[in-house]
Structures are given as C-alpha cells and as structure tokens.
C-alpha cells in the first residue's frame, strides 16, 4: 500500500516518515484544506473538539500545525487525532 506523505517534508525527513507510517494510519499524512478530524486534548480532554482545516503544515513526521476555519491555530501530534 502506497502512503501519501506531505510535500512539505524535506527529502531526508520523507525517508524517515515513510518508515514510521506504520505507527500512524496513512490518512493522517494526507490531510488537506476542508478536511475535518477530532482532536483529543491530552490534558484530560479539556479542549477536545472537531477541527475543520483551513490550512495545514506538517512540521515533522509526528506533528502538524493547523489553522482552523474559525481562525484558531492548533499544534498537535498525529497520535492525538482521529
């Protein structure tokens, strides 16, 4: 199965990300504008919510920075979303 990895990952990081995709489902590496996901806040679920993506940046193979459609910015680990 071929995975979709973000083009923003540098080539040397891309190789590492391809090796680590077994830990996270492939769809987490293919999020785009307009997609929605549920973020599980690791702080006892205090701010858990559904997030609608306006812009997304993969900061490395484990984390993302998302501008929500309401203007909020969320930085989180991929293992916190579903």
pLDDT single digits (tens) 18-53: 444 456 888 998 999 999 999 999 999 999 999 999
Residue 75 lies in a domain: yes
The overall longest dimension of the chain from CA atoms, in Å, is 37
What pLDDT does residue 22 have?
A: 53
Q: What are phi and psi of 19, to 5 degrees?
A: -75, -25
Query: What's the domain count of the chain?
Result: 1
What pLDDT does residue 24 have?
A: 80
What pLDDT does residue 2 have?
A: 35
What pLDDT does residue 25 have?
A: 87
Residue 77 CA to residue 57 CA, distance in Å, equals 12
Residue 4 lies in a domain: no
The residue range of the domain holding 42 is 11-80
What pLDDT does residue 10 have?
A: 46
Residue whose structure tokens are 């997030």? 51
For residue 53, the domain's CATH number is 2.30.30
Q: What are phi and psi of 51, to 5 degrees?
A: -115, 130
pTM to 2 decimal places = 0.70
Residue with the larger pLDDT of the pair 14 and 33: 33
Residue 58 lies in a domain: yes
């Amino acid at each position: 199965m071929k995975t979709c990895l973000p083009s923003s990952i540098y080539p040397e990081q891309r190789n590492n990300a391809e090796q680590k995709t077994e830990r996270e489902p492939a769809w987490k590496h293919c999020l785009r504008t307009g997609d929605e996901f549920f973020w599980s806040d690791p702080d006892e679920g205090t701010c858990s919510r559904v997030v609608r993506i306006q812009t997304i940046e993969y900061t490395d193979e484990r984390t993302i920075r998302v501008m929500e459609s309401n203007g909020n910015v969320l930085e989180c680990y991929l293992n916190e979303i579903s």
